[in-house]
Chain A
Amino acid sequence: MDKVGELIKLIASSLVDKPEQVEIQEVIGDSTTVYELRVAQEDLGKIIGKQGKTARAIRVLLGAAAAKEKRRAVLEIIE
């Protein structure tokens, strides 16, 4: 996994109750990389946050981190 993926994983696992169930999968496209994040069912709310605030914050961070490497990145939270 690349550095950006690791960063997202580190943040996600620090937010949840069951860090061992956090999984990240990269789907690399032409210009965009999609990071698929899977967490335990009961931790989903912690990743998304109130009105998606936490998810939004992670996405902004991901976007900026990827932009630094002149790439695009999208975070998908898989239910």
Chain B
Amino acid sequence: MSIEREFEGKTVTDATIEACKELGITRDELNFEVIREGSSGVLGIGSRNAIIKVRDVESGNNDIQKNELDAVPMDTEKIEKIFRHIVDHFVEESEIEVEVQNRNILLKMKSSADLGFLIGKKGDMIKNLEFLLSRIASKQQSQSVLVGIDINSYRERKNDQLKEKVQSMVEKVVSINRPLSLNPMNSYERRISYLIIEQNNEVTYTTKEYGHLKKITIFPKKLDTNLS
């Protein structure tokens, strides 16, 4: 069954966002045609909304796709083998547990030996390993797969620490009513931070590129204009 629907927005982008929200699909899955480009007019006079026509909207289509994705058997053998190979180089005895969630693989590792080598300075080594293994896994599956590594619950502890830090930062911003910046973080850490920041509706945030990382600045919503 094929349905056509039209969506309106200030710009084409706005219209597509609206359409995605309404249909519960991602931008990539959206099949649309631009009917009319929006124009802002002069000083808001004569402005026209953009209109797009979305084709092939099949209800239930989305669910089928999702099921198919889940059904793809994840071949973790190779990843496990490579990870084990790497790990064996550093420690003699270790236990590795593989967990598959959706399209992500989580490697849980436990050992009584010193695992500092595998963690690296500030988790550098873990991040590198995760990156490499993700690349390898994505290659094997021909779709993007994220590989996470947890060494003796290091990741869990680190996540908790980060959450605590962001939470205290948010509280501080509210109490002193001035913006504060967090250290540059990667996307995984930022995701955790955003979730914490968004829980507090007295603050908002901006993100700025910082090398290959990004820096989050938390602002109080009611900025005291007397301070500047």
Contacts and interface: CB of A to CB of B under 8 A. Distances in A.
Contacts of A40: none
Question: Number of contact residues on B: which range applies?
Answer: 10 to 19
A3 B89 contact: yes
B136 interface: yes
Question: Number of contact residues on A: which range applies?
Answer: 20 to 34
A41 interface: no
Given A54-B132, A64-B117, A64-B125, A7 B139 contact: no
A15 interface: yes
A74 interface: no
A65 B89 contact: yes
B89 A68 contact: yes
B131 A7 contact: no
A27 interface: no
B122 interface: no
A57 B132 contact: yes
Given A7-B86, A56-B128, A61-B86, 15 more contacts: A7-B85, A14-B136, A15-B132, A15-B139, A49-B135, A51-B212, A53-B131, A54-B131, A54-B132, A58-B132, A60-B120, A60-B125, A64-B117, A64-B120, A65-B86
